Structure 1
Amino acid sequence: MTEISFYVGKQDNLHGRLFLACRVAQKAYDRGYHIHIHTDSLITSRQLDDLLWSFSPTSFIPHAIIENADKERIIISHDYEPHEDCDYLINLSNEQPKFFSRFTKMAEILDQTPDILTDGRKRYAYYRDRGYNLQYYQL
C-alpha cells in the first residue's frame, strides 16, 4: 500500500510549492528512487523544469518533462500516466492522481493558498478513510 506524506509549506504561492517539490525530489533522488512529478499544466511542468536546474547551486538533479524524456530517473508531466510502476510520486496538482496507488511512496505538496489547503484536506481524508499510511509535515 502506498505511503503518503503531506508536505505543507509556509508560503502561499506556486513558486514556494515548486521549491518545496524540488527539495522533496532531491531527497528522493539521493535515496535512488525513480520519481514521477505530476503537475496541473504544461506551464507548471516547465516552471518546475527550470527550477530543478537552478534551485541548489551545489546539486544537479537530472530530469525531463515527459515530452522530452528518455530513461531519466525524474519525469515531470501534467497529462501522462506512467506505464510502469515507479518508486515515488510527487503530486503538485490540486487533484488526486488516478494512478497514485501504483507507487510505493507519494508526496502531496501543499502551501497556504486556501484552495490548495482545502483540496489537500479532502485528499488527506480520502486516503485516511481508505487506510493509507499518512505522514504530515508542516514546514
Structure 2
Amino acid sequence: MKKADFYILADSDEDARRHFLCKLLQRILHANYCVYIYCTDQYSAEKLSDLLWQFSATSFLANKLVTDSHIAPISIGWPEKHQPPHHDVIVNLSEQIPSGAEDFTRIAEIVIQQEASLKGSRERYKKYRDAGFVIKHNDMRSKTNPG
C-alpha cells in the first residue's frame, strides 16, 4: 500500500526544515530503511549532502549523491539525475512529485509555514490522494520529535 506522510512544521524557514529532515532521517535509518532524497537541483543536493555529513558534533548521516559510486543508506538526487537506487522511502524536497514516486513504499513531505510551500503541499496532497496513496498528516507544530 502506497503511503505519503506530510510533516507540518511550525517554522517558516528552510533551516528548520533541514533540521527536521536530519531528525527524520535518523528515525528512518534506525528502522533499517534506505532513503532517497529528491531535491530541486544539483546545488541544493550538494549543499544538503554537506549538511548531512556535518549534522552534529557527535554524529553524521552517511549519504551520497546519485552520481557517486559508493554505497550509503541515504542517496540524494535531483531532476536531471533522478536515479533512485531503491524504493524504500523517498523524501521530496522539491515542489513537484518526482517521477516514479508511486514505486516507493513511503513518501515524506516536509511542509514549512511559507505560502509557496503550503500551496505546493496542498496540490501534492491532492495528487497523492487521487493516485490512491494512504495519507498521514503529522502536525509537528506542538511536537519536538519527528513521528
> What RMSD, in angstroms, separates the aligned Cα atoms of the two structures?
1.7
Deviations 1:9-61 (A, max 9, x none): 22212222222221211111111111100000122112211221223334332
CA distance in 2, matches of 1:87, 1:73: 11
Q: Which moved more, 1:67-76 or 1:100-109?
A: 67-76
**8 Å CA contact 1:29, 1:61 repeated in 2:** no
What residue number does 1:86 align with? 87
TM-score (norm 2): 0.85
What residue number does 2:24 align with? 24
**8 Å CA contact 1:88, 1:103 repeated in 2:** yes
Q: Percent identity?
A: 28
**8 Å CA contact 1:38, 1:91 repeated in 2:** yes
CA distance in 2, matches of 1:3, 1:53: 28
Instruction: Go from structure 1 to structure 2 and tell me whether the alpha carbon gap of 1:112 and 1:47 turns closer, same or farther (over 3 Å shift).
Output: same
Unaligned runs of 5+ in 1: none
| Equivalences for residues 1-139 of structure 1 within 5 A | 1-79=1-79, 80-82=81-83, 84-139=85-140
Instruction: Go from structure 1 to structure 2 and tell me whether the alpha carbon gap of 1:69 and 1:10 turns closer, same or farther (over 3 Å shift).
Output: farther
Flag as ranges the 4+ runs of structure 1 deviating above 4 A: none
**8 Å CA contact 1:35, 1:89 repeated in 2:** yes
TM-score (norm 1): 0.89
Q: Could you say what secondary structure the match of 2:72 adopts?
A: coil
CA distance in 2, matches of 1:91, 1:17: 12
